[in-house]
Amino acid sequence: MKSNFEPCLKFVLHHEGLWSDDPRDPGGATMKGVTLAVYREYLGREASKDELRNIPDEHLHDLYKSRYWNVSKCDELPGGVDLVVFDMAVNSGVGRSAKLLQKCVGATEDGVIGPKTMALVTQVPSKQMIIRFSEQRRMFYKGLKAFETFGRGWLRRADECESKAFEMTGD
């Protein structure tokens, strides 16, 4: 839903936290959910960990909007569904989030949200879609090697995202 980017970003940033460079985290150095690799790609040049630690708010906002929200077609998704798709895109990648959404509606799981996926999404009530998506998200997390280390946090985030998404449906 077009008006939901800011509240969804606020939710994501709350869960992404600040600086992290845990060697057990496959994402590596991360600031406010942005990995060093993603920031370098965004800038189109090499960037240091110090630059990432000091990422300007304008970069953060633009990066999340252009590389996650827009690519995931969140402006076209129903309220609440936009949040779960966006949050998963940030947490596990745009392609993974799209595949989970596609699995929930029986679309071809190609990792790109296109017109066929969107048409199928509109046929499912928002709260049901949020439940389906959240269940798939939890199953995905449980299958990851790093689940032992990060799983409790991932599941808590999925639960909180699901609850917040229900509030955003307007039902």
**Segments in the chain below pLDDT 70:** 1, 171
Other C-beta atoms closer than 10 Å to the C-beta of 99 total 22
Give the whole-angstrom CA distance, residue 75 versus residue 66.
12
Quick one: pLDDT at residue 78? 95
The domain that contains 153 carries what CATH number?
Answer: 1.20.141.10
Residues 6+ apart with CB under 8 A from 102: 108, 109, 110, 111, 113, 117
Give the whole-angstrom CA distance, residue 35 versus residue 16.
11
Quick one: pLDDT at residue 26? 77
CB 141 within 8 A of CB 158: yes
* Strands ordered across the beta sheet of 30-31: 19-20, 30-31, 34-35
Nearest alpha carbon to residue 72 among 46, 99, 38 = 99
Q: Is 90 exposed, middle or buried (0-12, 13-18, 19+ CB in 10 A)?
A: buried
Residue 4's H or E segment, with its range, is: none
Residue 109's H or E segment, with its range, is: none
CB 37 within 8 A of CB 28: yes
- In the chain, the number of structural domains is 1
pLDDT in tens, 130-147: 999 999 999 999 999 989
Structural domain span for residue 79: 2-168
